[in-house]
Amino acid sequence: MLVLALVLALVVVLLTALPDDDREGGSTCTARTVRDWDPDASLTDEFTRYGDDATRTDDWTGGDGTHSVRLPDGRVLWLFSDTYLGQVHAPPNPVGESVAWRDVSTPLVRNSAVVMSPSGRLESTLPAPVFPDPAPQRWRWPVAARVEPRSPGSDEKVVRVLLWTRTAGRSPWIYGVPTATEVATLSLPDLRLEGITTVLDQASVADPARRVLFGTTAVDAGDWSYVFGGTDAQAASRPTSHAYVARVPRGRLGEPGAWEYWDGSRWAVRGRPAAVLGDGADKGVGSAFTVVRDGRTYVLFTMAAGTEGLTTVTAYWACSPTGPWHGPAKGFSPPLPAGGVAAYNPQAHRAVDDGRLVLSYDVNWLDADAASAQLNITRNVSLYRPRFVSLRLAAP
């Protein structure tokens, strides 16, 4: 009996350590890769139409960090990080090019949100910034979002938005030093900010390159929401970043005590998370990536390592959020404007609920000098807006 008891105890320990999908029969998982893709002109053109509409002076004209969530009434809330508001002027621009342009004094806010009607038409911009700066020289970028019960078992719904808090820093941290992961609550249906809760403070981690921010993407499976995060590859010696994963009981994103982090062998409430992907060389992720679930298979999309990462999206696959992750697969290069332009932040949009797998990617002028880059994206508004592709996945 003692032997049997020990065996049963060992089984319980192993089942506790394994991700839920492994317990559910991960053997049904199969390798996936991108079979083919097409530019999604309908979505890209809709953001062009809305951004170029000059009838208002306080709405969205361009932004990056594109995320989305479908609301219970069928609307879609689109979330953005750094955003230009104001008006767009018809061509030619000040240097004679036949492109729409912004004035150099155009307001830039750290985050924004745009509401799309159930029919797919962008209608309004919420008063921006939606998520106020927590302190001088510190700001918030929204990432993944979910509609959840206000409290476990409640019939009332709210929107939970994961936020990356960053602090101004010096080179190479020109996009800010990673500081904390937070969760904001928006009321429904009016989308009013009710409060913000810190989930994981990273200020005590001395090396900014080791600070993990969670929320670049989230995937629901079984009773859990798996929330992925990463480190920033800001230094030249770190060409790729590492991916991490946490899990939260579905409907409890706003409860810091409900979060568990994969430490390499088990889920733990405290302790240093362990990377699930990234070798510091040719395998890894950009600081922003996305994960979808295709059947029992998890597929991760990220910009490719090295110089290809400026133009090429690649993918990994796994049978569990914790890996092992297989890849990278052969990448694809979505359309980009001519000139010194880079693509970044590929994000899947399940909120576009019509059977397609839609992926957005952000575009920006590639220039180490911030003032020069800003001048170029005000002279050509199309250089700072999301573009979209539709993908089809299949076995390799």
**Are 299 and 291 a contacting pair, CB within 8 Å?**
yes
Q: What is the CA radius of gyration of the chain?
A: 21
**pLDDT band with cut points at 50, 70 and 90 for residue 361:** very high
**Are 381 and 99 a contacting pair, CB within 8 Å?**
yes
How far apart CA 214 and CA 164 sit, in angstroms, is 8
Average confidence (pLDDT) over 43-59: 91
Which backbone phi and psi does 113 adopt, to 5 degrees?
A: -145, 135
Is the domain 2-394 a CATH 3.90.220.20 member?
no
Choice among 86-90, 165-169, 176-180 with the minimum mean pLDDT: 86-90
How far apart CA 37 and CA 334 sit, in angstroms, is 9
**Are 351 and 69 a contacting pair, CB within 8 Å?**
yes
Average confidence (pLDDT) over 343-366: 90
Average confidence (pLDDT) over 236-254: 84
Q: Write the pLDDT tens digit of every residue in 306-348.
A: 777 789 999 999 999 999 999 999 899 999 987 778 899 999 9
Average confidence (pLDDT) over 212-234: 93
Query: What sign does the dihedral 374-375-378-380 (CA atoms) show?
Result: negative
User: Is residue 23 pLDDT above 80, yes or no?
Assistant: no
Comparing CA positions, the residue from 37, 32, 100, 92 lying closest to residue 361 is 37
Choice among 183-187, 239-243, 284-288 with the minimum mean pLDDT: 239-243
Q: Write the pLDDT tens digit of every residue in 64-92.
A: 999 999 999 999 999 999 999 988 999 99
Count of helices and strands (H, E) across the chain: 4, 23
**Are 343 and 311 a contacting pair, CB within 8 Å?**
yes
Q: What is the rounded end-to-end Cα distance, in angstroms, of the chain? A: 49
Please provide the average confidence, as pLDDT, over all residues in the chain: 88
**Quick count: other Cβ atoms within 10 Å of Cβ 206?**
7
Of residues 96 and 374, more confidence is placed in: 96
Comparing CA positions, the residue from 74, 115, 42, 45 lying closest to residue 356 is 42
How far apart CA 317 and CA 326 sit, in angstroms, is 5
- pTM for this model (two decimals): 0.91
Domain coordinates in residue numbering, the chain = 2-394
Residue positions counted in the chain: 396
Residue pointed to by tokens 């002076």: 57
